[in-house]
Structure 1
Amino acid sequence: MLQPIDLRIERRIAASIGTVWACLTTPALIADWFFAVDFRPEVGHRFRIAGEPVSGWRGWTDVEVLELEPPRRMLWSFDCCAEAEASHVLFELEQKQDHVRLLLSHDGFVPALTRRLLDEGWSAYLTELAGLAQR
């Protein structure tokens, strides 16, 4: 049975919006906080996240860049499991006086175990991204 993903994770990052955007869109930096991927900041670009399969994840996710508004917004199609349609991951950045507000939204439907993995994974990945951007 599928359940809604409906994740909203926010981070306050003591860095410039350009630095945080670079962490989200530069392959070498993406590898430092997420996975080593063949990412290009271009609408229509497709790439695959690959890793060791675990319960709830088949070991790969097919991603497509659907929208790109540098340095404020990026939307991905995120196909992480065979049991459900592709979901959507949205990164939104907002420059504040002394930090960047990063909001990740992940919407769609997946099995319960996959939902838990996404929650744990995105929380950990965004903590890594924030640390990288602040260095």
Structure 2
Amino acid sequence: MLKPIAIRIERDIKASPATVWACLTRPDLIAQWFFAVDFQPRAGHRFCIRGDEALGWRGWTDVEVIEIQAPRRMVWSFDCTEQAPPGRVVFTLEERAGFVRFVLTHEGRVPMATRRLLDTGWADYAARLSRLAESNRLS
């Protein structure tokens, strides 16, 4: 039985939009907070996330960049299980006085075990992204 995903994570990151955007789009930095992937910041680019198989995850996720509006929005198609259609992951950045409001959403439907992995995984990845951006001063 598929369960809806309605993940929304908001973080205020004390870094410039350019720094946070670089952490989202540079493969060397993506590998530090997420997975080592062959990412390219352009619509239509496809890449695969690979890791150890776990309950609720087959060990890989097929991703396609659906939309990219540098440096404020990126949308992925996120196919992490054969039991459900791909979900949609959206990253948005909003510049504020002295920080960036980072919002990650993930919508779709997945098996319950996958849902639990996504809930904890995205929260962990967002925290790691925040720490990485705050420790790097990229322009």
Secondary structure, in 3 states, of the residue corresponding to 1:108?
strand
Find the residue that maps to 2:42 and give its secondary structure.
coil
CA distance in structure 2 between the partners assigned to 1:36 and 1:103 by the alignment? 22
**Which whole-Å CA distance do the structure 2 matches of 1:9 and 1:126 have between them?**
8
User: Which residue is 1:79 aligned to?
Assistant: 79
CA distance in 1, matches of 2:93, 2:116: 25
Structure 1 unaligned blocks of 5 or more:
none
In 2, the alpha carbon distance for the partners of 1:35 and 1:107 equals 20
Match of 2:94 in 1: 94
Alpha-carbon distance, 1:98 to partner = 1.2
After TM superposition, the structure 1 = structure 2 runs for residues 5-84 of structure 1, keeping only pairs within 5 Å, are 5-84=5-84
Aligned residues: 135
Q: Under a length normalisation based on structure 2, what TM-score does the superposition of the two structures give?
A: 0.97
**Runs ≥4 in structure 1, deviation > 3 angstroms?**
none
Specify every segment of 5 or more residues in structure 2 that has no aligned partner in the other structure, as ranges.
none
RMSD of equivalent CA atoms: 0.3
Q: With the length of structure 1 as denominator, give the TM-score of the two structures.
A: 0.99
3-state secondary structure, aligned to 2:31:
helix
For 1:31, what is the secondary structure of its paired residue? helix
Residues in 2 aligned to 1:115 and 1:17: alpha-carbon distance in whole angstroms:
30
